[in-house]
A = this chain, B = another copy of it.
Amino acid sequence: MSGPVILPRVIRTRAELSAALETAPRPVGLVPTMGALHEGHASLIRRARADNRTAIVTIFVNPRQFNEVADFDKYPRDEEMDLRTCGSAGADLVFVPGVDEIYPPGFQTSVRVGTLAEPLEGVARPGHFDGVTTVVAILLGLVRADRAYFGQKDAQQLLILRRMAADLGIGTEIAACPIVRAPDGLALSSRNARLGPEQRAAAPILRVALTAARARYGAGERNGEVLRRVMRDTLATEPLASPEYVSCADTATLLELDHVSGAALLSMAVRFGDVRLIDNDLLP
């Protein structure tokens, strides 16, 4: 039996946020989310809680990072449940702005990262990363956190946000947290709830494919195409899985590697019906 959850303080406007930050003990840790919080998000909040004197979560379903209005409309929203998750994980403040608070009337500014945003997710989701970099720049500007926490699951997003913060002289450290997985290896995602039972049973194949490639790497394989083929061949054993891309890329440029000499990002996007899942692993 668990005790009562202390709900965090909810703020909804830029002005309230600014006032709250004036008295918030430093350092401040920020966890930007789109809600639909799961254990992966909770791990980010606990880390922000542990590293800082103030932990702030933002919940904002950002219309600018959806490629299709229908996806935005059907994105799951359950504020009460999310606030309980924030409270349990130790958030002090939760910023839940309306769209007009993030994008005030006449808004017309965008922040864009170049070549890092082009391959992989950038191919499948045109404009997506411009939406992400713009909203994160706004949140980092408003909160001026000492640290901001993002999940390693969105590996390309993490690289892009680090690039943006370095390029624009943003004084917030971009911290990465490990992927949180279900017991069978499936990376947690709000999209997992949309998988049918058979799809859900098949979905851990992403992790199996990554593990197979890592094993080949551990056995000495350094040919990027061989590592990609190992992943493709593993995915091909699962009839419900439709791979969109399979990548073994340079972690600095996200360009595909012929030969793995330093760090490499193994990553993939795979469809199960209309549900698109991603996963990744960093070598070594």
**Which A residues lie at the B interface, using CB under 8 A?**
14, 103-104, 106-116, 133, 137-139, 141-142, 144, 163-164, 166-171, 252
Could you tell me if B109 and A112 are in contact, using CB atoms closer than 8 angstroms? yes
Least CB separation from A134: chain B residue: B168
Closest to A140 in B: B169
What's the minimum C-beta distance from A223 to chain B, rounded to whole angstroms? 26
Task: Write 8 A-B pairs (CB below 8 A) sorted by A numbering.
Answer: A107-B167, A108-B114, A108-B116, A109-B112, A110-B114, A111-B111, A111-B112, A138-B168
Q: How many monomers of this chain does the complex have?
A: 2
Instruction: Kindly list 8 other residue pairs between chains A and B, CB separation below 8 angstroms, not including A107-B167, A110-B111, A112-B112.
Output: A14-B169, A109-B133, A109-B163, A109-B167, A110-B112, A111-B137, A137-B168, A138-B168
> CB distance A113 to B104 under 8 Å?
no
- Smallest Cβ distance from A226 to chain B, in angstroms? 28
What is the bound-complex CA distance between A166 and B171, given in angstroms? 18
When the two chains form their complex, are residues A111 and B168 in contact, meaning their CB atoms are under 8 A apart? Answer: yes
Complex interface: chain B residues within 8 A of A103 (CB)? 167
Chain B residues lying within 8 Å of A111, measured Cβ to Cβ, are 109-112, 137, 168
Cβ B138 vs Cβ A167 within 8 A: yes
* Contacting residues, chain B, for A142 (C-beta < 8 A): 169
User: A252: which B residues are within 8 A, CB to CB?
Assistant: 106
| Set B110, B137, B163, B168: member contacting A106, Cβ < 8 A | B163
- Nearest CB in chain B to that of A168: its residue: B141
Cα A169 to Cα B97 in complex, Å, equals: 13
Question: Could you tell me the distance between the alpha carbons of A141 and B171 in the complex, rounded to whole angstroms?
Answer: 7
Contacts of A138 in B (CB 8 A): 167-169
Q: Choose from B104, B109, B114, B144 the contact partner of A109 (Cβ within 8 Å).
A: B114
